[in-house]
């Protein structure tokens, strides 16, 4: 064993640098869920980036997570694209939650064109948010979406099954929804900070 | 009044050359009866080999062993001439057609398009884009502008005094005078317009008739020029044909870009847009292949039109080689340019939303983009529609899901917990689509909130109709 050196003396001599987390600028895209905003390092959705939402099953409350954001964007007359949603968006339900459907485009694409369409929409720069439900998406395809979201300065939301949780993902934010015993969300990865441990309960509402 | 003249020295040749990507291969237009074919026009590489206009075809073939030959079609040339008139109509309301030239009254257009040098470069850029060689001059009378373009490209004469001085040294042979005078005057020792202007008018009138004197007056601006104003037609039709057959769709892309560019130039002149146009691909035999290109709203941007048409064309399987292509646009609705908000937060290089939609439609199909709106129908299946119209605005206070299943299906698994309900929907008697259901909001064993219905009065046999996702 060599000589024992006190850590504090190394710091004082400035021979060792300590890295500090760079604080992120605050996001201008609040999620509409105060508890979630608080837990996220930027205080909202990561801007110009992709958010991946992992689901245990369809219809557990994934739309409730994003509908406040979509309502805010469409009321600002900004465009939202839904790429191959798994079911029909039901207009009375969406409108009851404040979304203006005239600014929502529903794009029906074949299984192989989903990612292409999502990338085109993101890259165009004329959509505020793009929601996609790809069935097959590998790391490479998701990275393309992440880059496209950055180019087009748009919010990308990708909804995938929970079994993809083990895969690495280039998404800036990864959320996992749990429906048991009540709707709650776990932050699996977030850019600019350690993901908080534990689950955040979301007020599950059906009305 | 100020008149700009655009002289098109190689109109027929340019019309042929622009059908295909630029090449350096020698090409000539031939005309004349079968026994005495003559060269009507030759491109640069053919001229470099010694071919010239009016040469006998046999002499040309002796000089150059291989060159492409295209029959000169006066009708084709006239069509290009009219297309350019339609283009020029964008810049001036008074456009006249002269042989191989266009004249435009520009004194008022200058207010809009800026001083003449800038305006001139606008014209030149457009013509270069369209693929026509040109010479441009400006003068206070249309005939003087016409004469000056032939002598000096780019000359701009603004006032009648300078015009007279500019006309003086012009040789008689290039002054576009009536034929008999143009031939006779040089042999009399009159070689320039200056000498001609100095001659007594009465004598000239006796010797050459009133046409020459009138022409001189029109040149100097002493007499107005009779000219028929061009009016653009109400439909657009342009056709391109090739001497060879085209077998691959990729080879049609270049002519397609030309045709859509022409359509865009025509629409800009008319200040109109196009929402639907047809492409006809003609074959040696059999009916032509028709491709209809439709857009969501009227547009006229050349890139947009081209991209839409190409998207449709690329999905095409050619059963036979193509010998000609025709673009037809009959329905030309008014064009409303998309306004952009001053406080628009989108990035400046954003693709316009319309263009994005067109791009998606071109690849994914016509019906791939939908907008949903609410209807007044209380039946859940009919409460929304994709057709355009005014949506219902009344508020619904009853629970409604965010996902709707295309068709209801039985809810499997353990018995769900009822959260709310029943809400009876019993309606549809007017069109035979009666339904009588009790809707409930339930919570499934997996924790999903579902919108289910069952027969009235029963609480079982659940049919799943939506998710409160």
Q: What residue numbers bound the domain in which A138 lies? A: 47-193
Arithmetic mean of pLDDT, B331-348: 68
**d(C-alpha B380, C-alpha B49), whole Å:** 78
Optimal mutation site among A91, A94, A97, A110, interface B, most CBs of chain B within 10 A: A91
Mean model confidence pLDDT for chain A? 86
Average pLDDT of chain B?
Answer: 86
Nearest to B372 among A78, A101, A113 (CB): A101
Instruction: Please name the member of A88, A108, A116 whose beta carbon is closest to the beta carbon of B404.
Output: A88
Predicted confidence at residue A53, as pLDDT, reads: 93
CA gap B452, B57 in Å, rounded: 85
| Tokens 């798994």 found at | A86
| Domain end residue (candidates: B301, B329, B357) | B329
How large is the angle between the packed helices B201-208 and B210-220, nearest 10 degrees? 130
Q: B104 and B134: one domain?
A: yes
Can you tell me the ipTM of this complex? 0.85
Q: What ranges in B6-157 are assigned the alpha helix state H? A: 11-17, 44-48, 57-63, 74-88, 109-113, 116-130, 142-151
If asked whether residues B11 and B72 sit together in one domain, one would say yes
Q: Alpha-carbon Rg of chain B, whole angstroms?
A: 34
In a domain, B267, yes or no: yes
> Residue A153 domain-assigned?
yes
The answer as to whether A12 is a domain residue is no
Chain B residues near residue A29 by CB distance under 8 angstroms: none
CA distances from B436 to B181, B409, B453, B467 (A): 96, 16, 10, 20
**Disruptive mutation site among B303, B354, B370, B402 for chain A (greatest number of A CBs within 10 Å):** B402
- A64 CA: distance to closest CA in chain B (Å): 6
β-strands B435-443, B95-98 pairing? unpaired
Q: Which of B360, B370, B467 is facing A120, going by the closest CB pair?
A: B360
CB contact under 8 A, A94 and B403: no
Mean pLDDT of A53-61: 87
Query: Which of A93, A115, A157 is the best substitution to test chain B (most B C-beta atoms within 10 A)?
Result: A93
Minimum Cα–Cα distance from A61: chain B residue: B469
Enumerate the residues of chain B whose CB falls inside 8 A of the CB of residue A104.
Answer: 371-372
The answer, yes or no, to whether residue A198 has pLDDT greater than 90, is no
- Give the range among A18-27, A60-69, A158-167, B120-129 with minimum mean pLDDT: A18-27
B216 and B240 in a single domain? The answer is no
Instruction: Give the position of tokens 């015993």.
Output: A181
> Do A117 and B351 count as a contact with CB atoms less than 8 A apart?
no
Read off the pLDDT band of A129 (50, 70, 90). Answer: very high
Q: Tell whether B40 is covered by a domain.
A: no
The shortest CB-CB distance from B396 to any of A56, A96, A204 is to A96
Read off the pLDDT band of B344 (50, 70, 90). Answer: low
Do B137 and B173 fall within a single domain?
yes
Our measurement of the distance from residue A121's CA atom to the centroid of its chain's CA atoms, rounded to an integer in Å, reads 17
Chain A residues touching B370 at Cβ < 8 A: 105-108
CB within 8 Å: A117 and B401: no
d(CA B320, CA A24) in angstroms, rounded, equals: 61
Q: Do B372 and A91 touch (CB under 8 A)?
A: yes
Task: Work out how many domains chain A is built from and give that number.
Answer: 1
* B11 and B148 belong to one structural domain: yes
Please state, in angstroms and rounded to a whole number, the distance separating the CA atoms of residues B469 and B457.
Answer: 27
* Closest chain A C-alpha to B384 CA, distance in angstroms: 6
Size of interface A-B (CB pairs under 8 A): 169
Same domain, B142 and B201: yes
Residues of B in contact with A101 (CB under 8 A): 371-374, 391
Say which of B403, B441, B450 has its CB closest to residue A90: B403
Answer yes or no: are the C-beta atoms of B374 and A95 closer than 8 Å: yes
Q: Which of A149-158, A179-188, B346-355 has the lowest mean pLDDT?
A: B346-355
The CATH number of the domain holding residue A88 is 3.40.50.300
**Cβ neighbours of A94 in B, within 8 Å:** 402
The pLDDT of residue B7 is above 90: yes
Confirm whether B80 is domain-assigned: yes
pLDDT, tens digit (0-9, with 9 covering 90-100), for B375-434: 888 888 888 888 877 666 777 778 889 999 999 999 888 888 888 878 898 888 888 888
Tokens encoding A17: 């640098």
CA of A192 vs chain B CAs: smallest distance (Å): 24
Q: Based on the domain organization, do B210 and B74 belong to the same domain?
A: yes
- Residue B102: inside a domain, yes or no? yes
How buried is residue B122: exposed, middle or buried, by Cβ count under 10 Å (0-12/13-18/19+)?
Answer: middle
Cβ distance A102 to B448 less than 8 Å, yes or no, reads no
Residues B139 and B196 in one domain: yes
Q: How confident is the model at residue B465 (pLDDT cuts 50, 70, 90)?
A: very high
Q: What is the pTM of this model?
A: 0.59
Is there a contact between A126 and B419 if contact means CB atoms under 8 Å apart?
A: no
Residue A138 covered by a domain: yes
Q: Domain containing B241 — which CATH number?
A: 3.30.1490.100
Contact yes or no for B374 and A95 at CB 8 A = yes
- Give domain status of residue B95, yes or no: yes
Given a cut of 70, whether residue B267 has pLDDT beyond it is: yes
Of A78, A91, A121, which has the smallest distance from its Cβ to B374's Cβ? Answer: A91
> Nearest residue of B to residue A85 by CA position?
B403
What's the domain count of chain B? 3
Q: A59 and B347 in contact by Cβ < 8 A?
A: no
More confident residue, B209 or A14: B209
Nearest Cβ partner for B469 among A61, A104, A121: A61
- The C-alpha atoms of residue A32 and residue A45 are separated, in whole angstroms, by 10
By Cβ distance, the residue of B349, B368, B380 closest to A108 is: B368
Do the Cβ atoms of B400 and A93 come within 8 Å?
yes
Q: Is the peptide bond before A125 cis (omega within 30 degrees of 0)?
A: no
* B321 and B182 belong to one structural domain: no
> Residue A1: inside a domain, yes or no?
no
Please say which residue of B307, B329, B351 terminates a domain: B329
Q: What is the pLDDT of residues B58-100, one digit of tens each?
A: 888 888 888 888 888 888 889 899 889 989 988 988 899 988 8
- Encoded tokens for B6: 């655009």
Mean of the pLDDT values across residues B313-340?
82
Torsion region of B432: left, alpha or beta (phi above 0 gives left; psi -120 to 50 gives alpha)? left
In the 3-class helix/strand/coil scheme, how is B422-443 assigned residue by residue?
Answer: EEEEEECHHHCCCEEEEEEEEE
- Give the 3-state secondary structure of residue B253: helix
Query: Does B358 reside within a domain?
Result: no
Chain A residues with CB-CB distance to B400 below 8 A: 90, 92-93, 96
- On the question of a cis peptide bond just before residue B422, with omega within 30 degrees of 0, the verdict is yes
* pLDDT, tens digit, 9 for 90 and up, residues A96-114: 888 999 899 999 998 888 9
pLDDT at A71 exceeding the cut of 90: yes
Query: Are B182 and B129 found together in one domain?
Result: yes
Contact call for A207 and B399, based on CB within 8 A: yes
Based on the fold, state whether residues B297 and B208 are members of the same structural domain.
no
Are B130 and B272 contained in the same domain? no
Question: Nearest CA of chain B to the CA of A44: how many Å?
Answer: 18
Compute the distance between CA of residue A124 and CA of residue B349 in angstroms, rounded to an integer.
8
- Domain membership flag for residue A58: yes
For A60, which of B347, B349, B448 is closest by C-beta distance? B448
For the record, the structure tokens of B238 come out as 């342009």
How many Å lie between the alpha carbon of B304 and the closest alpha carbon of chain A?
14
Q: Using the beta-carbon criterion (under 8 Å), do B371 and A60 form an inter-chain contact?
A: no
Find the domain containing B448 and state its range: 399-467
- Confidence band (pLDDT; 50, 70, 90) for B341? low
């Amino acid at each position: 064993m060599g000589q024992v050196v006190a850590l504090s003396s190394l710091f004082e001599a400035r021979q060792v640098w300590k890295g500090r987390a760079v604080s992120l600028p605050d996001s201008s895209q609040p999620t509409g869920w105060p508890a979630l905003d608080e837990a996220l390092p930027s205080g909202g959705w990561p801007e110009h980036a992709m958010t991946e939402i992992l689901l245990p099953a369809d219809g557990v409350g994934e739309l409730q997570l994003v509908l406040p954001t979509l309502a805010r964007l469409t009321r600002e007359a900004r465009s939202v694209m839904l790429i191959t949603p798994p079911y029909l968006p039901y207009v009375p339900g969406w409108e009851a939650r404040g979304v203006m459907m005239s600014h929502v485009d529903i794009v029906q694409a074949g299984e192989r064109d989903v990612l292409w369409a999502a990338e085109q929409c993101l890259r165009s720069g004329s959509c505020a948010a793009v929601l996609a439900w790809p069935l097959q998406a590998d790391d490479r395809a998701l990275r393309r979406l992440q880059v496209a979201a950055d180019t087009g300065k748009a919010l990308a939301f990708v909804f995938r099954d929970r079994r993809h949780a083990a895969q690495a993902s280039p998404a800036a934010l990864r959320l996992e929804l749990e429906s048991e015993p009540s709707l709650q969300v776990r932050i699996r990865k977030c850019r600019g900070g350690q993901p908080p441990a534990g689950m955040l309960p979301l007020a599950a509402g059906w009305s | 009044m100020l008149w700009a003249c655009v002289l098109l020295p190689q109109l027929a040749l340019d019309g042929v050359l622009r059908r295909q990507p630029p090449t350096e291969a020698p090409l000539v237009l031939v005309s004349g009866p079968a026994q005495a074919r003559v060269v009507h026009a030759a491109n640069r590489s053919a001229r470099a080999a010694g071919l010239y206009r009016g040469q006998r075809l046999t002499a040309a073939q002796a000089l150059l062993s291989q060159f492409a030959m295209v029959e000169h079609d006066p009708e084709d040339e006239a069509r290009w001439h009219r297309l350019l008139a339609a283009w020029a109509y964008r810049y001036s309301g008074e456009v006249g057609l002269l042989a191989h030239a266009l004249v435009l009254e520009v004194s008022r257009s200058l207010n809009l398009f800026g001083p003449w040098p800038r305006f001139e470069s606008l014209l030149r850029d457009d013509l270069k884009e369209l693929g026509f060689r040109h010479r441009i001059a400006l003068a206070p009378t249309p005939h003087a502008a016409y004469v000056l373009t032939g002598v000096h490209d780019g000359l701009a004469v603004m006032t009648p005094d300078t015009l007279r001085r500019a006309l003086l040294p012009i040789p008689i042979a290039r002054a576009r005078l009536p034929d008999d005078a143009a031939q006779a005057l040089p042999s009399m020792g009159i070689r320039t317009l200056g000498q001609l202007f100095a001659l007594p008018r009465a004598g000239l009138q006796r010797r050459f008739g009133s046409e020459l004197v009138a022409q001189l007056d029109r040149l100097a601006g002493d007499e107005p020029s009779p000219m028929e104003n061009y009016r653009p037609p109400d439909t657009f039709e342009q056709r391109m044909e090739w001497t060879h057959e085209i077998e691959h769709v990729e080879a049609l892309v270049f002519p397609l870009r030309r045709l859509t560019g022409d359509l865009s130039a025509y629409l800009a002149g008319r200040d109109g847009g196009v929402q639907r146009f047809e492409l006809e691909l003609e074959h040696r035999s059999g009916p032509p292949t028709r491709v209809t290109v439709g857009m969501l709203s009227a547009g006229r941007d050349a890139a947009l039109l081209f991209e839409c048409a190409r998207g449709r064309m690329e999905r095409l399987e050619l059963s036979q080689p193509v010998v000609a292509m025709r673009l037809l646009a009959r329905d030309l609705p008014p064009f409303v340019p998309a306004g952009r908000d001053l406080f628009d937060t989108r990035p400046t290089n954003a693709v316009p939303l319309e263009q994005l939609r067109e791009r998606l439609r071109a690849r994914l199909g016509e019906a791939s983009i939908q907008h949903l709106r609410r209807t007044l129908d209380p039946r859940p299946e009919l409460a929304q529609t994709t057709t355009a119209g005014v949506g219902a605005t009344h508020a619904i206070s009853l629970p409604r899901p965010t996902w709707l299943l295309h068709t209801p299906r039985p809810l499997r698994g353990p018995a769900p917990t009822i959260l709310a309900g029943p809400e009876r929907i019993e309606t549809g008697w007017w069109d035979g689509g009666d339904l009588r259901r009790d809707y409930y909001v339930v919570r499934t064993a997996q924790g999903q909130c579902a919108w289910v219905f069952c027969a009235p009065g029963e609480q079982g046999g659940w049919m799943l109709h939506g998710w409160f996702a």
